[in-house]
Structure 1
Amino acid sequence: MNWDDVKYFLAVAEAPSMRVAASSLKVSHSTVARRIDALEGELGVRLFDRMPSGYQLTAAGEELMPVALGVDESLHSFGRHIAGRDNELAGQVCVTVPDIFALELMMPYFEEFMLEYPDIQLKISDSFEVFDLSRREADIALRFTKNPPDHLIGCKIGRVKQAVYGRADYIKKYDLMDPSSGAGWIGWGTPEEKPHWLKKTPYPHLPLNCHFNNVLLQQQAVKRGLGLGYFPCFLGDTEENLVRLSEPEGYYDMWLLSHKDLRGAARMRAFRQFVISKIPPIKAALEGALTT
């Protein structure tokens, strides 16, 4: 049975005339008649007698009436339940965010949000993978991107900038302008003789000492005095023993994104508004403005 046809059945059964039923459904008289005919054909019984005064329920129609009313009430009850739940500051919010951003910058804010909204459960998926928000693989994304998809809504938090960093005693030990001083780089990405990022730094003449394919490992290597590193400012500026050795350069923007269909859910709205309220300090950290 097509439950959409049941909606037409109820409208005709409860209305004083076919015209009123069609008006309440915002369709034409002929559409209502066609849908009633389709339902009767599917069930194999007449639900209404067509009288000069209008449609009157048959015995079969009388039997269907409580069933149809029960389904109608159940659907409305479900809708109210869902709407009520979405209006409550409770439930789960799944956030996808790159691990370095979650660990080094967002963790204090996650903690503050959880204390402020104890009935909202944060589910953090720390990944650079692009989760499909349309398929509810996540509710909200904190994503590095240059071009956010058109079907998502959100706002730009700030531009992710990178700079050269070295440990203070490492800088004193070596003459960074001398290629033969023994100073060198902690490389990242695919090993290559002269990577493109190296050419943009003040020290393109220094050799690559080693490679690490994870930015947190690169940061740790620089902190241990194994070489110079080139990584996001929010990883370097907060380390007491690291010195910034170049002007920050921007590469990607950080966006707060969600699907437009979720904009009305209270728990989603609460998280979005919370993050938006923290944009000034987050933006400063991303753009290397904490030390200026």
Structure 2
Amino acid sequence: MRDMNWDDLKVFLALHRSGSIRGAAGQLGSSHSTVSRRLAAIEAQLGVRLFNRAADGLQPSAAADDIVDRAKRVEAEMLALERTVQGRDARLSGPVRVTMVPPLVQHLLMPDLVAFADAYPEIDLEIASTYDLADMSRHGADVAVRFQTAPEPFLFGRRAPHSAHAIFASPDYLSSKSLERSGDSARWIGWNVPDRFPGWTQITPLAHLPAHHMMPDPLAQMAAAEASLGIAELPCFLGDTNPRLVRVPGTQITGRYDCWVLTHPDLKTTERVRTCVRYLTEALHRHAPLLQGERPGMAEE
């Protein structure tokens, strides 16, 4: 029997965290069959069952519970070692994993990402367009652009301009609905709670209007508002640049959300990561009027 190696530990921890072979495969960027074979091989090597198979996934065995904390400590040391080595890399080449929410990728920063790729052709961008927060302590991303009040204190970051939100609707919807209390009053498009009068509407001048439906995605909200399903609270960089939407009369900015460009401290001296952080921060500052809702209806030049 040979000892567990680092690759075995990564498989074990992915299975323990996700509770399923499919989930672990997603975390590892592997296939279901490969992870299943790796688990069987690890258990055979150790001569012990690590997970009990159940209809709803994998249940850690007593043996797995005995070793998981030690495995996490080994993982932390190995990742720290890898970051230390990467932090000495002065080359402007190689991969940079960047994570940000889909609206930023699709409706604001794509031209800047193209310009970055043209300026640094030896750097390979890996863009994760997602609402999930990457675990940067475990190499979930090299760089993250986040709307977050207080990033994790261990991260190194640069503050970017805040993102303002406002209330938008299609002109057709506003011409056919009343903003007053009436039998044909306008409606909010709800986010993620089945509440007719959710708290986020109560700090607006339209608190008396009910919310209907649930769409916890800004891009879906925007599409629904375009189609005249209702009024929507959207980031200004989405609503103000959409020719099918206008700000609802009599309303103001509804919220301001801090924006950060973040990396792990061990990577801040890696030249390609540092260059990417600087480039994205500068790009966001160029877009500041649009992000902050100061130039309604006008895109960045």
Contact map agreement 2:290 2:296 (CA 8 A) in 1: no
The partner residue of 2:108 within 105, 124, 127 is 105
Deviation at 1:127, TM superposition (A): 2.2
Task: Give the distance between the partners of 1:84 and 1:144, measured in 2 at CA.
Answer: 26
Q: Deviations over 1:21-79 (max 9, x none)?
A: xxxxxxxxxxxxxxxxxxxxxxxxxxxxxxxxxxxxxxxxxxxxxxxxxxxxxxxxxxx
The partner residue of 2:244 within 226, 237, 241 is 241
Contact map agreement 1:179 1:207 (CA 8 A) in 2: no
Equivalence for 2:268: 263
Task: Give the distance between the partners of 1:239 and 1:84, measured in 2 at CA.
Answer: 41
The answer as to 2:292 corresponding to 1:287 is yes
Deviation at 1:84, TM superposition (A): 11
Moved beyond 3 Å, runs of 4+: 82-85
Task: Give the distance between the partners of 1:280 and 1:213, measured in 2 at CA.
Answer: 27
Secondary structure in structure 1 of the residue aligned to 2:199:
coil
Secondary structure in structure 1 of the residue aligned to 2:229:
coil
Contact map agreement 2:100 2:130 (CA 8 A) in 1: yes
Task: Give the distance between the partners of 1:84 and 1:172, measured in 2 at CA.
Answer: 57
Structure 2: gaps spanning 5 or more residues: 1-84
Equivalence for 1:209: 212
Closer, same or farther: CA 152–194 of 1 in aligned 2, 3 Å = same
The count of residues paired between Structure 1 and Structure 2 equals: 211
Q: How does 1:12-27 map to 2 (within 5 A)?
A: none
Closer, same or farther: CA 84–184 of 1 in aligned 2, 3 Å = closer
Equivalence for 1:189: 192
Task: Give the distance between the partners of 1:281 and 1:223, measured in 2 at CA.
Answer: 27
Structure 1: gaps spanning 5 or more residues: 1-81
What letter is aligned with 2:260? W
The partner residue of 2:126 within 116, 120, 123 is 123
Task: Give the distance between the partners of 2:174 and 2:127, measured in 1 at CA.
Answer: 38
TM-score between the two structures when normalised by the length of structure 2? 0.65
Contact map agreement 1:179 1:205 (CA 8 A) in 2: no
Closer, same or farther: CA 181–273 of 1 in aligned 2, 3 Å = same
Deviation at 1:128, TM superposition (A): 2.4
The partner residue of 1:180 within 166, 174, 183 is 183
